[in-house]
Amino acid sequence: MTTQTLSKDMAPAVDQVTLRRRRTGLTAADPRRTAGGYTLYAGQTAGGRVDLVDIGGATAHRWQMPVRAGRDAVILPNGNLGYNGSHATSAALYPAWDLWHGGDFYEATPEGDIVWRHEDIYHHHDAQWLANGNLLYTVAAPLPADKAARVTGGDPRKDGADGIVQSDIVREVNRAGETVWEWRIWDHLDPADFPVHAIFDRRHWPMINGLSVTRGGLVLMSLRTTSGVIAVERSTGKVVWHVGPDTVAQQHTPVEMEGGTVLCFDNGNLRQGSTSPFSRALEFDPATGAVVWSYADPMPGSFFSPYMGGCQRLWNGNTFICESAFGRLFEVTPEGETVWEYVIPDFAEYPTPLNEFIIGAHNSCFRAHRYRAEQLPWL
């Protein structure tokens, strides 16, 4: 048996980014069972770069957008890029606001030419580019004082000195930037019935962090600080169903499936009955809240994103998952077997002042999306 001696003169410096010391790029692939296609992501610290990688992990296309990503990027039906950028002069509503606002929206051709732009300095979190060309997104607005007095839970020691509680309006604008539909959450939900989790301050109730539209026209909304998903009827504004913290925990990205169930990324912070947080892809029956399918890692704590996250049901029945906080994009079968995995290899710090709240070098992205080759005819 021999003992190797590490020379102090020849020893390289140890990379202090833990995730980067592990494997990045394409880390797993089963060509027989993956759905294939192309994966799109916009790194939170990538300075506006948007990457499209093929199933082998190679960069197939890249955009350089004018501003860094506020949230995510998508491929539109016309083949262009829809981009949710971080507005340089967004509203300064409370200390953590810069962590999740967007508000600078662009449509860009594959060549990078900007063909449409919309700005809203009160936008935060998600946005959906609708089939009719309109944009659906959430903005923050002050909760009326009588409603703010009914906010319960959270940590009152962290309340703002001005006493203002921000709340949510869901807004749809057309290509001219005109508002064609608007829904104020406090007109339909009583804050006293939706308490803020103890870990959160009460600066923002209930923080809608995810939106989508069902085939029947319901608008699905994810409530971050109270843990829940609601469905809103556009014509009346009525909340037609609510699934709460007995099913989901700090979830993101609710999307209706073909059979009427809802798939979401269940982050797992403060999950009822659990002392050890872990994330899962979760499909539930909106009529009952019953879980009909879920994926968690065989060692549950190995899959956990405390913030952001997304799930997408693919055309072959697999589920594509974005473990946002750690830049891990992967695909699982209905049986829960991983058949593809890619870890974003690019790390950087968030810009000032965000790096005061979220320190270190990150490879995170708000959400990632998988596309078939025929959705990219220009490639």
Distances (CA, A) of 261 to 167, 254, 258, 278: 28, 10, 7, 22
Q: Which residue positions in the chain have pLDDT lower than 50?
A: none
Note the pLDDT of residue 339.
98
User: Looking up tokens 């890249």, which residue turns up?
Assistant: 62
Q: What is the Cα–Cα distance from 316 to 331, expressed in whole angstroms? A: 11
CA 143 to chain centre: 24
Question: With a threshold of 0.85, does the pTM exceed it?
Answer: yes
Q: What is the domain partition of the chain in residue ranges?
A: 23-375
Q: CB 106: neighbour CB atoms within 10 A?
A: 22
Note the pLDDT of residue 87.
97
Regarding the domain delimited by 23-375, which CATH topology (the fold level of the hierarchy) does it fall under? Neuraminidase (2.120.10)
Residue 84 identity:
N
CA 142 to chain centre: 23
Which stretches does DSSP call E strand in 32-165? 38-43, 49-53, 59-64, 69-75, 81-86, 103-108, 114-119, 123-129, 135-142
Q: 3-class DSSP state for residue 315? A: coil
Note the pLDDT of residue 198.
83
Q: What is the Cα–Cα distance from 20 to 34, expressed in whole angstroms? A: 25
Over residues 57-93, the pLDDT tens digits come to 999 999 999 999 999 999 999 999 999 999 999 999 9
